[in-house]
Structure 1
């Protein structure tokens, strides 16, 4: 690296963190998850607002690969945390309703995404038409599990019945989404044939056999001392080697990091895993804003005309209508009340960083061109930002109807409705 590259790299990192933290804090004051402000920071530093001249001077071609490397590390660690935060206990006692809601939340938007893909193919042709159709269906079906979890905590809903159901549903949807993305990556980006994908089975078995060793490493040391430096190093090695393995299989490294996190030992490691999430989260909080900027540099909305706005409107209609309607119908079919189903549907419409990661893979594979990638990023931003206001509307409606509800002995659903009212009060108090 030259002195000029070092200077620009450090300048860029300082500017990225400053703007991301500032807009993230502003988003929080407006009742939005910080990721909304951080994504917006990435877009603002790109060519959309200041043009390519400013973006090229701030982030020249010889510095962008360095920023991209840091961004990749941040995304790998983020995906590990996503897998680590998946909990089997979310499904206890709610398997039937979770499966029903997750099925509607996945299949309905995916089915609507198929005609959307053919509509978009008119102006965004690709040689991989079948993979493009599957990818578009997948991109409108995803839910951001980490952002959803943080929204629930911020609104005081994480320990309530509807919050646990949302986490369980999002976990199932996440696993389905990353598995489907791995399949698309293998079909489109496989370098030496599809046989490498079959190596995922023995690789998964290998990770499962290593769980006792990982448990011993995580719990090694004096009681109450927490995660040791050796344990942290072993986990980091596992993340990067797992990412290397799935990348070599023709899939994306993010799938390996996610799989390693999902297969980490659970029993007897609760405190250590919580500490691991916190310490890894500290690293990702510094590196993920770099990913937002790297993604934002590829977003250029200056040339969006009437046709582009029409495409954006259709994308938003399918993404919001499919996700909200599918989740709502799936939850109602399992006996959930209309208000609880609406709350769950609003939460599942959150996409956040998870959507950006998937879109980045699509751009890398050549399934998305620049203009379509830009429109899809806007969709991710809008659907994430609308979650809070929609929840506020549902809570306000529930509060207006609450005095007229007189629950009888053994009334079903009353506990969840009371939880929702309590969550609204807690969320407003925390704000």
Structure 2
């Protein structure tokens, strides 16, 4: 890296941090998740405005590979945090209601997304029609667990029945969504032979659950004995995340799966203190620096300057399928299990929250060339709108007075 490149990169990082914090704070003032403002910061600094003049001046081409590397690191740590936050007891504890809503809110939008791909492929040709159809189905099926959890906390809904069922469903949806995406990556044949991929994934999983998980229990025990998260423990965990991510990338899956699974295998019993400190320390670095870089890199690929009437029609169809599929699937399943109409509507609204999880999936689709830039841009708009609508719709369908006085629901216990 030359002196000029280093100077430009440091200036770009400073601009990214400031822009993300300012627009994130503005979004919070408008009762929106900060991620909305941060994504809009990325789009605003991209080629959509002023024909790319701003993006070329602030993020010249020669520093973009460095930004992309930092963005990948941010996504890896984000996926580790998602896996770390996945509450196994919560997933097991909600019974038929959560299972029905989860499956219905995945199956219906997945099917509608696959059908929509038959129309979209005419304007967005793909080298792999099957992979394109599966990808569109998976992209329509996403619920962002971290953003949903933040919305529930902000609205003091975390301990209501609707809140806990929504968290459970989002956790299940996360697992199903990443499983579907892994299938898409496999079908698309990304960087690896299919037979070799299948042969290597199984030993990797065995090592993670039979070797790495017991070792992490020892790490958690050492942390408990020390009474705090030591730098050595943090180094071991971060190295483990990166090694796991590298392993899945090497066998032909995307690195996000390795990072996510490392978070999943972190010990729950006896590891609460370790998880809490990791979430705080890793989460701060990720949210303040690395994820904003990801938003900028993602925004640099969004170009809405020449959408046109055809693009607007496609966006309308994408929104109809994304919102309608999730809402109808979740609402009907909730009603079928005896949940009142108002609570069912609130649950269906929450399941439409896509957030950063959707952006991660869309960027993978772009990397696999399953999406072109025009369709990617439209899908990013869908991700932003479906996340932004959650707050206003909840205020309309499920005002605070309907649950503020209700007794909190006890968190499900393991087993």
Q: TM-score range by the shorter chain?
A: over 0.9
The match for 2:247 is 245
Contact 2:91 2:171 in 1 (8 A): no
Pair 1:235-2:237 in alignment: yes
Correspondence for 2:290 among 287, 290, 297 = 287
SS across alignment from 2:77: helix
Question: C-alpha distance in 2, partners of 1:222/1:301?
Answer: 51
**Which whole-Å deviations, capped at 9, do the CAs of 1:194-244 have from their partners, x for residues lacking one?**
122332222112111222221111231564722121111111111111111
The offset of 1:353, in angstroms, is 0.6
The match for 1:54 is 54
- Higher mean Cα deviation, 185-194 or 336-345? 185-194
Question: C-alpha distance in 2, partners of 1:187/1:89?
Answer: 32
The offset of 1:60, in angstroms, is 1.3
Question: C-alpha distance in 2, partners of 1:38/1:136?
Answer: 24
Question: C-alpha distance in 1, partners of 2:20/2:161?
Answer: 33
Contact 1:142 1:174 in 2 (8 A): yes
Pair 1:334-2:337 in alignment: yes
The offset of 1:160, in angstroms, is 2.2
The match for 1:197 is 198
The match for 1:413 is none
**TM score, norm. by length of structure 2:** 0.94
The match for 1:360 is 363
The match for 2:81 is 81
Question: C-alpha distance in 2, partners of 1:166/1:222?
Answer: 32
Question: C-alpha distance in 2, partners of 1:388/1:128?
Answer: 37
The match for 1:257 is 259
SS across alignment from 1:47: coil
Q: CA RMSD in A?
A: 1.6
Contact 2:178 2:257 in 1 (8 A): yes
SS across alignment from 2:398: helix
SS across alignment from 1:205: helix
The offset of 1:190, in angstroms, is 3.3
SS across alignment from 1:258: helix
Q: How many pairs were matched up?
A: 405
Question: C-alpha distance in 2, partners of 1:177/1:221?
Answer: 33
Pair 1:307-2:310 in alignment: yes
Question: C-alpha distance in 1, partners of 2:34/2:57?
Answer: 27
SS across alignment from 1:63: helix
Pair 1:346-2:349 in alignment: yes
The offset of 1:50, in angstroms, is 2.5
In structure 2, the gaps of 5 or more residues are: 409-415
Matches for 1:7-406 after TM superposition, within 5 Å = 7-195=7-195, 196-209=197-210, 210-221=212-223, 223=225, 225-285=227-287, 286-396=289-399, 399=401
The offset of 1:362, in angstroms, is 0.3
The offset of 1:304, in angstroms, is 0.7
Contact 2:220 2:270 in 1 (8 A): no
Question: C-alpha distance in 2, partners of 1:393/1:233?
Answer: 46
The offset of 1:191, in angstroms, is 2.9
Question: C-alpha distance in 2, partners of 1:339/1:37?
Answer: 29
